[in-house]
Amino acid sequence: MQGGLDYIMLKNLSIDGIRIIGSVLGQSIALDYYIGQVDGMVAEFTDINHEMKKIGTFTVKKEKLFQLVGKANSNLADVILKLGLFERSDIAWKSAKYAQIWEYLRDEYELTQRFGSLDYKLKFVEVNLDSFLFCFFSS
């Protein structure tokens, strides 16, 4: 196997090789989607924080906070459960050559690092949700 920017060459083309490549590509694309979702939540909290800084009060409605809680929780659950980012495919478990392709592609597409960035952003969202829910229910 050889790989580089935007290509991978396999010694033999097989259905298992295609499955490994398709699996990692699918995970990468789906991870991009979830990163976009979380970036949207970070932007929402950034706006809320700037508004609070400017006017000195909390104006977010309870329903909006609960929607953000649900969105944050479901995004993380979807990434962990549906994408299976931390589960090696059965094909890669059974064959060293496919394990090598799987690991190479995961490194090439930086799946672990991108998940780490997503997780960091979700922690920012979580801290904001905790703060705003505390403000909401303590007033």
- Which residues, 6+ apart, have CB-to-CB distance to 112 below 8 Å? 85, 106
Q: CA-CA distances (angstroms) from residue 66 to 3, 40, 50, 89, 130?
A: 45, 16, 20, 35, 11
Strand ranges inside the chain, DSSP E: 2-4, 7-9
DSSP bridge pairs for 9: 2
Q: What is the pLDDT of residue 57?
A: 80
Question: Phi-psi category of 85—alpha, beta or left, where left has phi over 0 and alpha has psi -120 to 50?
Answer: alpha
Provide the pairing of β-strand 2-4 with 7-9.
antiparallel
Q: What is the pLDDT of residue 138?
A: 76
Rounded distance between C-alpha atoms, residue 102 and residue 111, angstroms: 11
Residue 107's domain comprises 2-138
Q: What is the pLDDT of residue 139?
A: 64
Number of domains, the chain: 1
Q: Which residue has the tokens 């979380």?
A: 38
Q: CA-CA distances (angstroms) from residue 38 to 14, 24, 57?
A: 36, 21, 25
pLDDT along the chain (139 residues), means of 10: 73 88 93 95 92 85 87 88 84 88 91 94 90 78
Rounded distance between C-alpha atoms, residue 19 and residue 66, angstroms: 39
Q: What is the pLDDT of residue 80?
A: 84
